[in-house]
Structure 1
């Protein structure tokens, strides 16, 4: 049974805010948190990166773990701290096997270049293998995440093609419905797309995905003649959503998350938490 959220405490300055936000999300279902202290050993990185990461990541591990344990004791839900002991991908995979989390959550700091290199080379292979949904809490949210409750307005972005969610993504239905949020589906129409696909198909695709219970009300917000990433961000601002859901297609997501994909462009500028849902081909 999935009864936890696994928080990857990869950035000490972001861990507390991300954990409090994850606790608020899981509290309606009584989920507990597992805080995984991720060691990012400089010796395992490319030589060109070692000098940059030593000052940023070579911290006093005992103090960091003590801070995480103190944080866990203050959270409004049961929480435990998992101490990493080896390679990052091995530790995350082991934590997933132990905790069977509904989703993984992590904060993203403002300095994206170095972190993107670390995530692409060490973490993304684990996420691909586990197939778990991933919640990314951006730097713009970190200052207020501790005060946020569950989302009230959630925007689900679709790309105009039918999709099938992976089983782990469908397992989130109970969690999403527990927030009692208003759900809006958005699609960006460009040129002939407006005539090719009707609004009914976009809503039907989301319902058919089994992401939400069948009776969940769904609104539609379409954006015309915009680039996909810009259109999604415009819909996010127009609907004042406080969470964005993106479908992570294997062919376009895992290989290009931090390169040229629409997902990457949205993540770089999105001011609210983003929930990435793995789909299947």
Structure 2
């Protein structure tokens, strides 16, 4: 049985672009795409106030037909499913059905829309699953497998969970060059010998090549800007970020580095769930 991706879609061009990119990333492993539309009955508004209730099932049927047409247009094996539960419940149902390697969705470049998507879609998905999540900006136009992948880590030691580590064969199948960078404020001071070696250790189980951990100091104390600068410097066409449920989810709208990077990132972003490791020899935050 081939592995699968779950792609959260609507009927927009951006959603189709995200599904096409997911098909490209999964092609080396013959990944099957499960297109999942989380359908909710439209709320009454100025535009829908005069739509008779009997038309809502018809609208749902038309949406389902459009999703099937999208599945047929993709360059990969794909099926479409419409779920009517709340987003976290629908995502959990999709995972129970398909056991995907990752979930994927598109992101809008407009800040108001992006905030809405982060709050109403990304946040529930990460809370509900702690699964890898691929985010494809609407403005990016990736057409092939990534050639250079940048993995950005922060100043906290971490452990990757089982769903994140399960992506190792997929990442290896791309044949890409992987770079690992740690972006820190310059005010954080010198690091002890071996800190970066230990910080990058968990990635050895995930990445196909053992790259040295490069240090990017950020004089402006803006880690998000540092990540984007490293992205430009390495000319990477895919960015991998760590997402900790307690820190990332709790501070998503309060200046978190991840949210700032998503707002300015021109390439697709793969969020990997990370937890604080249990081993006592790991230290807490370094900076």
TM range (shorter): 0.7 to 0.9
Q: Per the alignment, in what secondary structure is the counterpart of residue 109 of structure 2?
A: coil
* Pairwise CA distance, 1:111: 3.2
Bigger radius of gyration among the two: 2
After superposition, residues 158-177 of structure 1 pair within 5 angstroms as 158-177=153-172
Structure 2, unaligned runs of 5 or more: 50-55, 277-287
* Pairwise CA distance, 1:103: 0.6
* Pairwise CA distance, 1:252: 1.4
The CA distance in 1 between the partners of 2:211 and 2:191, in whole Å, is 24
Structure 1, unaligned runs of 5 or more: 44-49
Give the aligned partner of residue 181 of structure 1.
Answer: 176
Is the contact between residue 40 and residue 85 of structure 2 (CA under 8 Å) also seen in structure 1? no
Using a 3 Å threshold, how does the CA distance of structure 1 residues 112 and 224 change in structure 2: closer, same or farther?
Answer: closer
Aligned pairs, number = 268
Using a 3 Å threshold, how does the CA distance of structure 1 residues 118 and 271 change in structure 2: closer, same or farther?
Answer: closer
Give the aligned partner of residue 220 of structure 1.
Answer: 214
* Pairwise CA distance, 1:40: 4.1
The CA distance in 1 between the partners of 2:197 and 2:28, in whole Å, is 26
Using a 3 Å threshold, how does the CA distance of structure 1 residues 156 and 194 change in structure 2: closer, same or farther?
Answer: farther
Give the aligned partner of residue 23 of structure 1.
Answer: 23
For residues 76-121 of structure 1, the C-alpha deviation after alignment (integer angstroms, 9 at most, x for no partner) is 2211101113323222211111011111100012334245335424
Is the contact between residue 2 and residue 101 of structure 1 (CA under 8 Å) also seen in structure 2? no
Is the contact between residue 4 and residue 99 of structure 1 (CA under 8 Å) also seen in structure 2? yes
Give the aligned partner of residue 52 of structure 2.
Answer: none
After superposition, residues 107-146 of structure 1 pair within 5 angstroms as 107-114=106-113, 116-117=115-116, 119-121=118-120, 124-141=123-140, 144-145=141-142
Farther off after superposition, 131-140 or 11-20: 11-20
What is the Cα-based RMSD across aligned positions, in Å?
A: 2.7
Q: Per the alignment, in what secondary structure is the counterpart of residue 6 of structure 1?
A: strand
Using a 3 Å threshold, how does the CA distance of structure 1 residues 258 and 14 change in structure 2: closer, same or farther?
Answer: farther
